[in-house]
Structures are given as C-alpha cells and as structure tokens.
Amino acid sequence: MFFSPVETSIIRSDAVIGKVYLTSARMFLKAYVGHFRKILFALLIFSLSTSLAVKADSSMRVVVYGRGCLSCFVAYASELKTALKEVGITEVELRYLESDPEAVRELDMLHQRLGVPENMRGSVVACFDEKYLFEGYVPAKIIVDFLANHTREYDSIVVFRDGLKGLYKIMDDKGNIRECRIESSISECVGKPESTSLTSILLLVIVSGLLDGINPCAFAVLLFFIAVLFVTGKSTSQQIRNKILVTGSVYIVAVFLAYLAIGLTFIQIIAATSFSHLIAEVGAFLMIFLGLVDIKDYFWPGRGFSLGAPKSQWETIRQWMHKFTLPATFIVGLIVGLFEFPCTGGIYVAILGLLALRTTFLEGFAYLILYNLAFVLPLIVILAFASNKRVMKFSLVRWQRQEQKTMKLFSGLVMVALGVFLLFSGFI
C-alpha cells in the first residue's frame, strides 16, 4: 500500500505526537510512583511509631482498686480490661479493698503522695503507673482516650467522676482543680479555663463574711458590754477607754477564733464526704431560708420562728461579762461565736461547701481567714466608735435596738439574693 506525501506527513506527525504522549505518560507515572512511594514510606513510619507508642503504653502497671459493691466492681473491671486492649494493655491487676488491707495501705499512700483531696476519692480507682488515677467509675472510653492522646502532657493527673452531680473534677500535675462536664474526652475539660476565677471566689468570700458579721447576733453583746463598762467604771474616761479597747479586742479575737474553728471543722467534714456539692447546695437553700426568716421578722415581728440566741444563753453571757476579767471576756467571745453560728450559719455552710469544692486545703484555709476577718470587721468598727463616751451618749445601744428591724430586712434580702446567686451561678 502506498501513501501520498500528504498522508505520509500526517502519519509521521501522528507518530511524533504519540511518542510525545507516551513519553509524558511515562514521566507522569514515574513521578506519581515516586510520590506514591513517599506516601507509603510515610504511612509505614507512622504505623511503626504508633506501634511503638502502643508498646510503651502496654508496659504500664495497671491496678484497679474497688470497695463496696463487689459485682459492680467486677463488671466495671471487666469492661475496662476489654477497652484497654485497644491500646495494647492486657495485664490488669484487680485489688478488692474490703479483703486486702495491704491494698488499702497502698492506695492511701498513693493518694497522699499525689495530694488527692478526700472529696476526689472514689469507691473504684483505676491506677496507671501510680501517676494517672481515675476515681469513681470513670467510663472506659474516657480512660482509653486519655492514655492514647494525653499521657505525654502530664506527669500525673487525677480524674474524679461525681455521679450525683453528673460532673467531673480534674486535678492536674500542678494541683489545679477544675470541674466540668465530659462527654468523651478529658481534653474537653482540660483545654478549657476554669469557670470560677480566684478573684470571683475572693470577692464572694469577703462579701459573705461582711454580711455574716452585720447582724444583731454579731455585735449586740459587744454594745451591751461597752455600755456596762461605762456605767460601772470608776476610773477616768481615758482609763475606761483603754480598758474597753483591750477587753473589746480580746472579745473580738475570741469570736474570730471560735468561728474559724467552726469553719475548719465543717470544711474537713464536708471534704471527707463524696457529696460536698450537695452540702454546698443545702447551705445555699439554708441561707435563703434564714433570709426569709429575717424578712418575716421585719413585717411580722415575734411571730413564728426567729433567729437569735435563747434567753438562757444570754443569761450565761451576762454572768461572764460582769466578771470584767480578760479570761472571762475571752470565754464570752467563744460562747458568742458558738451561739451565733445558728443565727446565720447558712451563709457559712454555703461558703464552706464552695471552698471544699473549689480549693485545696491550704487555699481553703487562707479563704477562711479572710472570711472571718471580714466577719469581725464590723465589730472592730463598732469598738473603735463605741469606746468614745460622746458616741455612747448618742447611745449606739438604743440605735441598735431601733434599727434592728431594718438591719434584719437588709440582711434577709442580701441572704436571699446571695443564696439564689450561688445556686444558679455555677459556683456550687
């Protein structure tokens, strides 16, 4: 077969184009294969690193401690063991605390070493390498997620599941504690800033302490005591003033120490329970109730239940006051501090519950000192003014009696407002 010159030219052109396409296709495939090899190499390295990470995780010592419901403990441990196989952990040791005293000592020492508060200790504890603790039936998926993604971020961590409130408390390796909701990952909580700032707690503590101190129960005794000294004093005005300042200071210190001791006792009891948030909420409701009682006394005085020390307690206080000695004054202050607690104890209980929830022991102790300083501040102001005889001629005692109803109304309104704020602000 013969082709014309034109046809031959076309055929040659097609051949050249075909060679170009073939060369381009080869170059493309070569480049693609090169990139494909790089991708395969990267995937291989990633899979190897993942395998090494799982191998590192699988070397962890895992112990699950439990007390109480044995069947619940066994079921939870079985579910956890199945989930841990996903990260290569197959060895899990079970220790039932009810029949293993050595395990009890071991867990107590671990809690002390990590500084785990009493209110973050659960009936079931999953422990990993003695530095990652999951307390209180923490779901297995949350534990596995942490082990797979966050172990390198923390030297230690404690996660407590608060079943009653449906929240989690997390204490990191720096001792910071935060409370939040967790659906599947601890990073949902750890990555968020604390909702309650120390400044907010500080302001709430100071305002509550002042409110607790501004009430008839707090300074009626001091005014009565100063009035008695002025009436019965046979020394010069300056000597009487000096005596009032000294004895009044002793009285205020005693009230401060008594109220501080009550706070320390209650905060330890609250922290030792697993439902400190519930106690804080009860305190807030109690604060609202006491506030309503004060409001009731303003509109319907003398009807029903009222706040105040019984007459028998006032008689005991008066007997000690007339002795006019510093030890007797100190005892009066202690008695008043103890008798006064039922008057506005709801405020104190709510704040103590808040401190047990949000702070460590040392932080809570510092806040307690500030609270009680704010609590006795009105007494200090009254002592400074009332020790002047000209002020007493104006009769602070009579003024206190006349304004008692107004003070009760103010105190009641603020207590109700503060209680409602605590319940709906997320502080407790």
Which of 49-58, 72-81, 326-335, 362-371 has the weakest average pLDDT?
49-58
Q: Are residues 240 and 348 in the same domain?
A: yes
> What's the rounded mean pLDDT across residues 48-61?
51
What angle (nearest 5°) sits at the alpha carbon of residue 69, between those of residues 360 and 147? Answer: 55
Q: In sequence order, what DSSP letters do the residues of 267-279 get, joined into one string?
A: HHHHHHSS-HHHH
Any domain includes 149:
yes
**Rounded to whole angstroms, how far apart are CA atoms 336 and 340?**
6
Given pLDDT bands bounded at 50, 70 and 90, which one contains residue 67? very high
**Rounded to whole angstroms, how far apart are CA atoms 114 and 122?**
15
pLDDT digits (tens, 9 = 90+) for 163-198: 776 788 888 888 888 877 777 677 767 654 444 456
Which of 6-20, 220-234, 403-417 has the weakest average pLDDT?
6-20
Look at residues 322, 308, 326 and name the one whose alpha carbon lies nearest to residue 252.
326
Which of 178-182, 247-251, 351-355 has the weakest average pLDDT?
178-182
Residue 145, domain extent: 60-190
**Rounded to whole angstroms, how far apart are CA atoms 46 and 307?**
70
Q: Are residues 291 and 420 in the same domain?
A: yes
pLDDT given for residue 50 in this prediction: 38
Any domain includes 34:
no
Q: Are residues 186 and 211 in the same domain?
A: no
Any domain includes 185:
yes
pLDDT digits (tens, 9 = 90+) for 30-43: 444 444 344 334 43
For 81, the enclosing helix (H) or strand (E) is helix 70-84
What is the longest distance spanned by two Cα atoms in the chain?
Answer: 149
Given pLDDT bands bounded at 50, 70 and 90, which one contains residue 268? confident
**Rounded to whole angstroms, how far apart are CA atoms 213 and 219?**
8
Q: List, in sequence order, the alpha helices (H) in 273-360.
A: 276-299, 311-321, 326-358
Which residues 6+ apart lie within 8 Å of 208 measured at CB?
347, 350, 351, 371, 374, 418
pLDDT given for residue 42 in this prediction: 43
Any domain includes 119:
yes
Spell out the long-range contacts of 180-183 with Cβ–Cβ below 8 A and sequence spacing 24 or more: 182/142
pLDDT given for residue 300 in this prediction: 82
